[in-house]
Amino acid sequence: MQYRLLGNSGLAVSELCLGTMTFGNTTDEQESLRMVDRFVELGGNFLDTANVYVGGRSEEIVGKAIRSRRSELILATKVRFPTASHPNGGGLSRKHIMDSVDASLSRLGTDYIDLYQVHTWDQATPIEETLRALDDLIASGKVRYIGCSNFYAWHLMKALAVSDARQYARFVSIQQQYSLVSREMDRELLELCLEENVAVIPWAPIGGGFLTDRYGTTYPTEGRLANPNGGESSWVNRGNERNFAIRDAVQKAAKELGRTTSQVALRWLIQRDGITSPIFGARTLEHFEDNMGAIGWEMPSDVWTSLEEASALPSEYPKRFIKKFSRGLKD
């Protein structure tokens, strides 16, 4: 396992992050605890959860898993979505943040959170209020670093500018959907993260399972892709001609390299500039072991480039316009 600094900080995290959204749901407690043990055994130190995963049950299980080795692990959780039915039971107001961090600390059985992330933008709350509350949490010792998730590029830049102007703690990371079949970050956000040294922690790095060998070309009847509500990792957003072509390229690369498609999809991300630690989830130890096969080897440059080209977004304005007049500077 390799380790990387989390953005503009001195915090070292493993090149893969174990996502725990399945803990207490499709993965029972005992299997979840075994998964964390195995992750740590293989050198992993970075775990991600959220206060709304399985109604807080995920945080409770993660707390049990880390209790005897708290100082050696980097724990990330999130705040934003409703946890109560009253008017202040959600959002990024000072009240909801302060209430939520104490509830998360209680479920996690710890007195500090390494990385506290806002789960998405809150248009109802001034970003100044949110950042001041997060800065106070760092000053209190309840939180060590802060991050964001599911932002537009302008959301992130505005937040960084407010932090700089008011001398608040900065977001050191962003958790965003990013994979071979979801490269919207390439339009602006990834370049902004490189410029401002913000760590990128991709979620759904295998396309919600789409890039595995478990699915064909027709609507599935089980798994995350079968979500009838059309969530981000659902067949509604995955099952199209472009993505099938990308999956074919991944399968070709996997066959050539003697790897699984999950390992190839994860490895492409690990070797991409600006990517710090993809978050992978697993329902079973078998799936976990497959995903962990993404570490400890290098994808040949020609194979990596073939996947890059197969999945690249079409040339778009203003990027192509700016590139034309870049005066020979690097893209």
Active-site residue list: 53
End-to-end CA gap in the chain: 30
How many angstroms separate the CA atoms of 223 and 124, rounded? 34
| CA distances, 62 to each of 35, 53, 98, 115, 215 (Å) | 11, 11, 21, 14, 30
Pairing status of strand 143-149 against strand 113-118: parallel
Which amino acid belongs to residue 281? Answer: G
How many angstroms separate the CA atoms of 283 and 195, rounded? 36
How many angstroms separate the CA atoms of 311 and 323, rounded? 20
Handedness of CA 300, 303, 306, 307 (dihedral sign): negative
Handedness of CA 209, 214, 219, 221 (dihedral sign): negative
Question: Any residues with CB less than 8 A from the CB of 5 and at least 6 apart, and which?
Answer: 11, 12, 13, 199
Cα dihedral 153/157/163/166 (nearest 10)? -140
**What token pair was written down for 179?**
């994979």
How many angstroms separate the CA atoms of 106 and 33, rounded? 19
How many angstroms separate the CA atoms of 272 and 308, rounded? 9
Pairing status of strand 3-5 against strand 12-14: antiparallel
How many angstroms separate the CA atoms of 186 and 314, rounded? 11
